Every structure is written in structure tokens, then in C-alpha cells.
């Protein structure tokens, strides 16, 4: 008779459980991807990659371990976005507030970011995808070796137009707007611009990366790690476009393709709701004009005033 081995039994049980879950996960992922591909894909997704340090802490590991695992997920997310047809991806890699962390952690992050930029530079897939890589943020705060790698990858991909990857380093949304305002004020003071030239388009052109084509409006912001806030990330591009937001619990190193697909499904559902609301309002306008009885339709006219402000007549 074979002696009872508790550890072997537990190992076998874990194997069966993981294999079953893996099969279910793949099927669900395929169904979800098929569903979201049948509708409109957001052109521009921005991601706040939060939770690396907490993930490492839960495992009893150093913070550098969490950042390294998060960097691996970042590479996968770039691939997933490209595969499903996203045109632009902006990643919040290092904020201006992150400089308050320990010197050891900041140096480790800059070294890790530098390593990933060099990997992109030498990876043939960067050129096969025609992926343009740009950095947004205050470059004067970056170490020389990282600035050199940034300029290297930007120069190598500057003519690519198929997929845009923006990496926010030493970035803050208010700081971005402030530097744009200062730049515009200097142009007005020197006579290169007049006050009448200043409008939304002009301000957008002076946002990071300036000079150059500015980051466009965001369609969807994704934040991991459980916090429901956007942390001063792309305020001009996000608030102006009323973009969708998706907050999820997994820490960034735990982020899966399913989570990305779910975020896109939220964007699509919000888009459908707005389209239905607009269609309803337009139908009310048509019915009102058809009946033409202002006395009987006074209440409906009051409901239509916001629509007329949007240009529907």
C-alpha cells in the first residue's frame, strides 16, 4: 500500500486547480476580446500604473522587485494595446511627486526605465510596428544617462506613425499647463503672438512634448491598485474630452489582459449611453418641430434648450 503523502496531494490539487482556472481564463479572455472588437476601440488610452510597492510588500520582497515585475507587465500592455487596435498609449511612469521617495528607490527606477528604453531601441518589433516613442515631462530633472537613452529612442522612431507610445517621466499635470502658459506668455511678450492668438488649440500645442506634436485628448484612463483618483495626470487632455475612467483593484504587476479588455468595455458602454442620450434628444427636437404646438410642448422645449446649445437647431 502506498503511504499517504499530504504534500504531494496538495501539490497535485494546486496543479489541477491552476490548470482548470487557466483554461477558464483563456476562454473568458477570448470571448471578451471578441465582444470588444465588435465595437469602437478607444484611440488613446492613458494608464496610471499603481501598486508596484504594495505588491512587493505583500510578498515580503524589496520595492525594486515590485517595480521590476511591473515593468514586465508594461511590456505586455504595450503589445495588447497594439494588437487590439489602440492608436496611442500614455503611461505614467514617474511623477514629480515620486522625487520625494528615497534616493535609492529613485535611482533604481531611473535605471529600470533606462533599461526598458534601450530594450525598445534594440527590439526589432519597435520598427516592425512602426511605433513612435516619446517622453513627456520635465527632462531637466532626469539624469544624463536617461536623457541620452530618451533622445536615442525618440530619434530612431520619430517618423513612425502606426502606434504612439508616450511615457510620462518627471511629469505633473499642473506643471505641464504652467510651462505651456509661461511659453505662450514669452511669445506674446516678444511679439511672436498676440493675445487674440491664444485659444485652446494654441495651449494644446505648447503642452508636453513641446516642441512637437502634443499629446491628444484621452478617451480612457485606467488606474490599478484600488485608488479612485487620477493623480494630476493629463488634466488638459482628459477633462476637456470627458474621457471614461476605469479603476481596478489589482496591483500593476497583477494586471491582466482581461482587466484591459474590461476597461475598454466600460469605455464602449459609456459611449453607447452618450449616443443613446443624444439620439433621444434629437428625436425630441424632431417631434417638437413636427407638432409645432408651443403651448402644449412647453415642458419639452425646456428639456431641449441644452441640446440647442450644442448646435442642434
Three-class SS of residue 280?
helix
Distance between alpha carbon 1 and the CA centroid of its chain, in Å?
A: 59
Higher pLDDT, 146 or 276: 146
| pLDDT value, residue 55 | 96
Residue 52 annotated in ligand binding: yes
Band of the pLDDT at 313, cuts 50, 70, 90? very low
Peptide bond into 211 cis (omega under 30): yes
Q: Give the active site residue among 5, 18, 43, 98.
A: 98
Higher pLDDT, 205 or 289: 205
Confidence band (pLDDT; 50, 70, 90) for 312?
A: very low
**What is the band of 308 on the pLDDT scale with cuts at 50, 70, 90?**
very low
Question: Among candidates 96, 98, 52, which has minimal Cα distance to 74?
Answer: 52
Report, as an integer, the average pLDDT of 276-298: 61
Instruction: Report the distance separating Cα 92 and Cα 136, nearest Å.
Output: 9
Per-domain residue ranges of the chain: 39-171+216-270
Report the chain's C-alpha Rg in angstroms.
24
CATH (residue range 39-171+216-270): 3.40.1180.10
Question: For 41-55, what is the mean pLDDT?
Answer: 97
Q: Is 138 a catalytic residue?
A: no
Say whether 98 is catalytic. yes
**Residue 50: closest CA among 250, 260, 256, 263:** 250
275 versus 297: which is more confidently predicted?
275
Task: For residue 9, name the pLDDT band (cuts at 50, 70, 90).
Answer: low
159 annotated as ligand-binding: no
Q: Is 195 exposed, middle or buried (0-12, 13-18, 19+ CB in 10 A)?
A: exposed
pTM over 0.85: no
What is the arithmetic mean of pLDDT over 224-232? 92
Contacts of 301 (CB under 8 A, 6+ apart): 288, 294
State the chain's mean pLDDT as an integer.
Answer: 87
Query: Measuring CA to CA, which residue among 163, 200, 165, 162 is closest to residue 180?
Result: 200
List 50, 164, 176, 219, catalytic entry: 50
Phi/psi for 234 (5° steps) reads 45, 55
Tell me whether residue 38 is annotated as binding.
no
Q: What is the DSSP letter of 3?
A: P
Q: Is 99 annotated as a binding residue?
A: yes
Whether the per-residue pLDDT at 250 is higher than 90: the answer is yes
Across the strands, what pairs with 48? 92, 223
Amino acid at each position: 500500500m502506498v503511504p499517504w503523502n499530504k504534500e504531494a496531494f496538495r501539490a497535485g490539487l494546486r496543479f489541477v486547480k491552476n490548470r482548470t482556472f487557466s483554461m477558464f481564463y483563456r476562454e473568458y479572455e477570448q470571448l471578451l476580446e471578441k465582444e470588444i472588437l465588435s465595437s469602437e476601440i478607444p484611440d488613446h488610452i492613458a494608464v496610471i500604473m499603481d501598486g508596484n510597492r504594495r505588491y512587493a510588500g505583500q510578498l515580503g520582497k524589496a520595492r525594486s522587485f515590485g517595480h521590476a515585475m511591473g515593468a514586465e507587465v508594461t511590456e505586455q500592455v504595450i503589445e495588447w494595446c497594439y494588437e487590439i487596435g489602440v492608436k496611442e498609449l500614455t503611461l505614467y511612469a514617474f511623477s514629480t511627486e515620486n522625487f520625494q521617495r528615497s534616493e535609492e528607490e529613485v535611482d533604481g527606477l531611473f535605471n529600470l526605465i533606462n533599461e526598458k528604453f534601450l530594450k525598445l531601441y534594440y527590439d526589432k518589433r519597435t520598427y516592425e510596428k512602426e511605433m513612435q516613442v516619446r517622453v513627456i515631462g520635465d527632462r531637466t530633472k532626469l539624469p544624463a544617462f536617461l536623457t541620452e537613452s530618451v533622445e536615442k529612442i525618440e530619434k530612431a522612431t520619430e517618423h513612425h506613425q502606426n502606434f504612439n507610445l508616450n511615457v510620462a517621466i518627471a511629469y505633473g499635470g499642473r506643471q505641464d499647463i504652467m510651462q505651456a502658459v509661461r511659453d505662450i506668455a514669452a511669445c506674446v511678450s516678444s511679439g511672436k503672438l498676440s493675445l487674440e492668438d491664444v485659444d485652446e488649440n494654441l495651449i494644446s500645442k505648447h503642452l508636453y512634448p513641446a516642441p512637437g506634436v502634443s499629446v491628444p485628448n484621452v478617451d480612457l484612463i485606467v488606474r490599478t491598485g484600488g485608488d479612485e483618483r487620477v493623480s494630476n495626470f493629463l488634466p488638459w487632455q482628459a477633462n476637456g474630452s470627458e474621457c471614461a475612467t476605469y479603476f481596478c483593484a489589482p496591483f500593476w504587476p497583477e494586471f491582466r489582459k482581461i482587466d484591459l479588455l474590461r476597461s475598454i468595455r466600460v469605455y464602449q458602454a459609456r459611449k453607447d449611453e452618450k449616443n443613446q442620450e443624444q439620439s433621444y434628444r434629437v428625436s425630441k427636437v424632431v417631434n417638437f418641430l413636427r407638432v409645432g404646438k408651443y403651448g402644449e410642448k412647453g415642458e419639452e422645449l425646456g428639456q431641449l434648450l441644452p441640446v440647442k446649445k450644442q448646435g442642434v437647431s
